[in-house]
Amino acid sequence: MASMASEPEEIVREVRIAARPDEVFPYFTDAAKLVVWKAARAELDARPGGVFRMDVTGRGDVARGQYVEIDPPHRVVFTWEWEDRGPATPPTRSVVEVTLSPDGDGTLLRLVHRGVPQEIRRGSAAGWAHYLARLALAAAGHDPGPDPWAAAGGGPTFEIEEVQ
């Protein structure tokens, strides 16, 4: 059995989106678009060195970070950390890199989240899968509807440990 410590410290997710990169990119830099797929409330200053703060569920599950690189419509890199998640979630600033590549009439989105603490890696990976599926709907012009995780009090994104 492999040890949890040997798992890579990065989360990698890819999703094909039925929209061009220039249509997908603003969902990472425009607060009004971010709240459609990822947050109940968001404040963004989308420029290198600019900060963002988003309440993912609307109940104080707040993530914040700083934009490191913005290259529309190809790439956005930002830091990520949870605000005041209590002692069960280690305070760690990680880095998220999103690359958008043309793929026929759509976009291949590749997300790499580096430096995620082991204690929250599994939940964070599930969270990105959940929210990127919502992004794929939104960017393609469909309403992803209310976030069921926010309505239910959070999903695997907020799990700290998996029970066997």
Report residue 143 CA to chain centroid gap.
18
- DSSP H or E run through 119: helix 118-139
Whole-model pTM: value is 0.85
Domains plus CATH for the chain? Answer: 7-146 (3.30.530.20)
Assess contact for 105 and 18: CB atoms under 8 A. yes
Assess contact for 117 and 81: CB atoms under 8 A. no
Tokens of 2: 């492999």
Predicted confidence (pLDDT) per residue in 81-137, tens digit: 988 766 555 567 899 999 999 999 999 999 999 999 888 899 999 999 999 999 999
